[in-house]
Amino acid sequence: MKNGENHVVHLSKRARSIISSQKGKHDEYVFTFRGRNIKRIDGAFRNALKRAQISDYRFHDNRHTWASTLIQNGVSLYELQAMGAWKDPEMVKRYAHLAPEKLRENAEIVDVLFGNSLS
């Protein structure tokens, strides 16, 4: 990590499968482009955005999307903090955002829990 500490990243079965599928394609590196190792992804990422005609998006925005998606699907802030290696819980909140639709969906839980007893 940029602070020099180690962090274990737990991968899903699909992510492990994708990485495993790269075995044997190169003697030394997992991911390559035209037979050479990929030293930096930022250039390729910018080129892909350009080809897709996407502007105003940074590679780091993927971390926000990842965190928000997990929060909106029930992962707790505590768990997300561990997964993303944030030391400060306040920083987790800067990354993880709830979509308005998710908040409306959560409001409907009251109906499910209390049903007709509210009438």
Res. 115: pLDDT tops 80: no
pTM for the model stands at: 0.71
The residue with greater pLDDT, 18 or 103, is 18
Instruction: Break the chain into its structural domains and give their ranges.
Output: 58-118
CA–CA dist 100, 119 (Å, integer): 26
Output the pLDDT for position 21. 93
The string of DSSP letters for 24-87 reads TSSSS-SSEETTEE-S-SHHHHHHHHHHTT--S--TTHHHHHHHHHHHHTT--HHHHHHHHT-S
